[in-house]
Amino acid sequence: MSGHGRGWGRTLAAELRHVGPPPVTVWGAVRAGVTLLIALTTLWSVDALDLGAAATFGSFAGIYGGAAPYRRRWRLQVATGGLLLAAVTTSTLIATGEDRAWWAVVAGAAWAAVGAAASDRFAWRPPGPLFLVFAATTCASVPVTADRVLSAIAVCAATAAFAVGLAVLEVAVEVRRGADVPVAAPPMPSADHRRLQVVRCAVAVALAGALMTATGWAHPYWAMVAAVAPLTAFTLRQQVARGVHRVLGTLAGVLLAGLLLLLPLPPLGVIVVVAVLQALTELVVTRNYGLALVLITPLALLVTHLAHPEPLAELLGSRLVETVAGAAVGLSIAVLTRVRPAAVSPADRPA
């Protein structure tokens, strides 16, 4: 191995082991957990857990913004909440049709392009279209009857509004205490990089979704999400690290999910576990992406099992295989479209 190869390998290993700073405040994690707990408990109380995915995706609106100051944070959350609602709406309509499997791939690629463009243009934190792709592909893939469409849309909208409302309340308290310190927005990528990001995110999602759909796997949306996940990082080294984190974290998360699903927990107990996992995820995701996946994986599988129970071995096996396949597609796209160091302008470099 050449000296350059060994050096790249060492920096990749360092990236995989890297532990970032803790979140600025724990309240974002508390909000995320409380929002999901209230939403899913409400659905359970009216025997409507089949709408749990719509509630989960609505709750994601409250996790955007990071340490951005008050005015920018709530506007970002309202905007992303609106896009999440639009993704859930269009994809739930797709799910009423018989050809939903292939239309889910189309929807995923389209929302990947929209999310990539909006993320770079408006400096989303967390960056990238992952949550939009997750919402669009999941809701398009799971069959739904026409009479449940409006209910799913209403649940998503109500949960997003509640999540954003809690976030606004939090930052209003921060402002009164003088704790809302302005944070500079990260630099905007160049126009060329923004165009590249839109294309490669859409292509990665389309290829992963088409591969899994054509070969008959049960949850192609997991592959589509895994395909776009590495592309939310900027440099090739960071993208490879994110892809490896995705696979290894999912492997550990599948084992944890299996243990949790074997426990004789009632639905309400599962909901409490899901809410705790959501809060813990928000506490660790900025520190190490692989560790976050150990928590995100059982969260997703528990919500899936609550809404549409299926054999445990099939559920866990599908999650692992489709994640590996999707990550492989995403990393292949990252390598083929990598930005050469000499071509990176100062505005392109991550903050």
Cα–Cα distance, 203 to 89 (Å, whole number): 23
Secondary structure letter of residue 343 according to DSSP: G
- Measuring CA to CA, which residue among 253, 70, 90 is closest to residue 156? 90
pLDDT value of position 169: 85
Cβ-contact 113, 130 below 8 angstroms: no
Distance CA 151, CA 173 (A): 33
Q: How confident is the model at residue 27 (pLDDT cuts 50, 70, 90)?
A: confident
User: What mean pLDDT, rounded, does the chain reach?
Assistant: 88
- The CA–CA distances, whole Å, from 72 to 21, 54, 61, 127, 185 equal 22, 26, 14, 15, 10
Instruction: Find the farthest-apart pair of alpha carbons in the chain and give their distance in angstroms, rounded.
Output: 63
Exposure pattern of 309-331 as b/e (b: 16+ CB <10 Å)? eeeeeebbebbbbbbbbbbbbbb
Q: Could you tell me if 263 and 35 are in contact, meaning their C-beta atoms sit under 8 angstroms apart?
A: no
pLDDT band at 344 (very low <50, low <70, confident <90, very high): very low
Structure-token match 């590249």, residue found? 196
Look at residue 131 in the predicted model and tell me its pLDDT: 97
Express each pLDDT in 214-243 by its tens digit. Answer: 999 999 999 999 999 999 988 898 999 999
Which two three-digit tokens encode residue 131? 């949550």
What angle, 0 to 180 degrees and rounded to 10, lies between the N-to-C axes of helices 289-307 and 52-59?
150
Whether the CB-CB separation of 57 and 84 falls below 8 Å is answered with: yes
Q: Are 61 and 80 in contact (CB under 8 A)?
A: yes
pLDDT of residue 1: 53
pLDDT tens-digit map of 282-341:
999 988 999 999 999 999 999 999 988 989 999 999 999 999 999 999 999 999 998 765
pLDDT value for 343 = 42
